[in-house]
Amino acid sequence: MDTIKIAHGSGGRESAGLIQNIILKYFGNPLLNRLEDAALLGGTPKNIALTCDGFVADPVFFPGGNIGDLAVCGAVNDLAVRGASPKYLSVSFILEDGLPVADFKKILAAMARRCKEAGVIVACGDTKVVQRGKCDKIFIITSAVGHMLPRANIAPQNIEAGDTLIISGALGEHSLAMLNARHNLGLKSNLKTDSAPLNKITAALINTLGPDVKMMRDITRGGLSSVLNELTSRQTGFEIEETLLPVSSAAKAASELLGLDILDMANEGKFVLAVSAGKAKDALKIIKAQPYGKGAAVVGQAVKGGKVNLITKLGVKRVLRAPLGEALPRIC
């Protein structure tokens, strides 16, 4: 590899290669090597969890939200699916000379609303301004800190064959909303970002079901295909059924029209859950009781063997692989 490519930020196989083959050679350690959504800082009084994320969305404003929504929800959700209760954020802004102050205020207002909704506060931050053309309007970097919920035991190695897979709602909506807005495709639908904080749903699951909640991951870059492939091991894989996947009629029509695979497309307010089979009905009831979980559905199960299989509508089983790159970069 001689140069960085846009695909290295995709969340797919190119991203994984960049992390495994280059970044970890410099920073690798037992804590980082786990490659979890958030790091559990052992030895701290309340088992403090830490995460960080960067947001370079294009466009900055899109149907249903803006880059500020993403910056808060993305950081909150990375802690939430790790089993932590988010408490504090740090926020760094990189602003381009010429950014309208009115736009900046809209972004800040969105962030403030999401912070209030998620129950977190901005505890520290930083602001830099660069010359025109050196940044695309605004980039935001957030870090989040929280403490682990007492009953949380979230880890990919906890997954066992027979565990049930649940998705918290309709797939692909954020990617498709961004695509429509960026390229002015004129798709006449109600497609909008699903960006939302998930910590209330995840806390309800963990507080009620405890260790029966085996694993959770938010479905972002690379879509469900990437998430499930990241979670496979030599012993355990997954089998999902196409007919069970929650997909809105608008997203289905848009993805088919554009020739895109909904399984490779990102959300910003959905997660996948592996739960003990005997607790699947309870988990589904808990998720559906929350405002951002109304469309939750059981989609498959964990199985023996390190592959992800999709059972198609025709009953044919095929191996589902992580996308190589990203059909739509800079979605978050």
- The answer to the question of residue 26 being in a domain is no
pTM score, two decimals?
A: 0.94
- Residue 330 belongs to a domain: no
Q: Could you tell me if 161 and 199 lie in one domain?
A: yes
Is 77 a domain residue? yes
Has residue 185 been placed in a domain? yes
Q: Are 141 and 161 within one domain?
A: no
Summarised one tens digit per residue, pLDDT across range 97-109 is: 999 999 999 999 9
- Read off the tokens for 308: 């992800």
Domain limits for position 143 = 36-148
Do 90 and 141 have their domain in common? yes
CA 15, CA 6: separation in Å to the nearest integer? 10
Domain match, 197 and 224 both: yes
Q: Is residue 254 part of a domain?
A: yes
In a domain, 241, yes or no: yes
Q: Is the dihedral of CA 246, 164, 291, 147 positive or negative?
A: negative
Q: What is the mean pLDDT of residues 155-178?
A: 95
In a domain, 14, yes or no: no
Is the same domain home to 120 and 166? no
| 30 C-beta neighbours (distance < 10 Å), count | 7
One domain, residues 178 and 116: no
254 in the same domain as 171: yes
Q: Are 320 and 232 in contact (CB under 8 A)?
A: no
- The most confident of 33-37, 133-137, 178-182, by mean pLDDT: 133-137
Report the CATH number that the domain containing residue 106 is assigned in CATH. Answer: 3.30.1330.10
**How much is the pLDDT for 331?**
87
Q: What is the model's pLDDT at position 10?
A: 66
Residue 300 has pLDDT above 80, yes or no: yes
Does residue 210 come out as left (phi exceeding 0), alpha (psi in the -120 to 50 range) or beta? left
What is the residue type of 323?
Answer: P
User: pLDDT tens digit string along 203-247?
Assistant: 999 999 999 999 999 999 889 999 999 999 878 999 999 999 999
Query: Is 162 found in the same domain as 128?
Result: no
Q: What share of the chain in percent tops pLDDT 70?
A: 98
The helix/strand/coil state of 235 is coil
β-pair partners for 241: 311
| pLDDT confidence tier of residue 13, bands split at 50, 70 and 90 | confident
Boundary of a domain, candidates 148, 175, 195: 148
Residues 191, 261: one domain? Answer: yes
Question: Is the residue at 12 inside a domain?
Answer: no
Which residues fall within 8 angstroms of residue 116, CB to CB, at 6 or more apart?
Answer: none
- Report the number of distinct structural domains present in the chain: 2
Take residue 252 and report the two structure tokens written for it.
Answer: 């289905």
Are 162 and 136 members of one domain?
no
CATH code of residue 187: 3.90.650.10
Same-domain status, 94 and 240: no
**160 and 144 in a common domain:** no
What pLDDT score does 325 carry? 66
Confidence band (pLDDT; 50, 70, 90) for 64? Answer: very high
